Amino acid sequence: MLHLDTIGRWVALATGRTLDQHAADPIPAAAHLPEAAATLRHLRTELLLAVDRLRTLLINEDDLTASASTVAGSVETVRELAREYRYARNWIDTLIGDEARAAYAQTHPGQTVRRRYVNPGDTVLVVLPHTDSCRRQNLAGHTTRIRVGTSDARLRPPGSVNPLRLSHADAGIYRDPTEDRLYVLQTGDETAGAGH
The pLDDT tens digits of the residues spanning 58-106 come to 898 877 887 888 888 999 999 999 999 999 999 999 999 999 999 999 9
CB 140, CB 130: distance < 8 Å: yes
Q: What percent of the chain has pLDDT over 70?
A: 94
CB 133, CB 35: distance < 8 Å: no
At residue 179, the pLDDT reads 87
At residue 194, the pLDDT reads 45
Which of 86, 105, 124 represents a domain boundary (last residue)? Answer: 105
Predicted TM-score (pTM) of the model is 0.85
Confidence bin at 53 (pLDDT 50/70/90): very high
pLDDT at 117 over 60: yes
* H helix or E strand, kind and range, residue 118: strand 113-118
Residues 98, 45 share a domain: yes
3-class state of residue 108 by DSSP: coil
CB 66, CB 32: distance < 8 Å: no
Q: Is residue 1 part of a domain?
A: no
At residue 157, the pLDDT reads 77
Amino acid identity for residue 95 in this structure: L
Residues 64, 121 share a domain: no
Which of 105, 125, 159 represents a domain boundary (last residue)? Answer: 105
Q: How many domains does the chain have?
A: 2
DSSP 179: T
Domain residue limits at 180: 112-193
pLDDT at 191 over 70: no
Confidence bin at 190 (pLDDT 50/70/90): low
The widest CA-to-CA distance across the chain, in whole angstroms, is 68
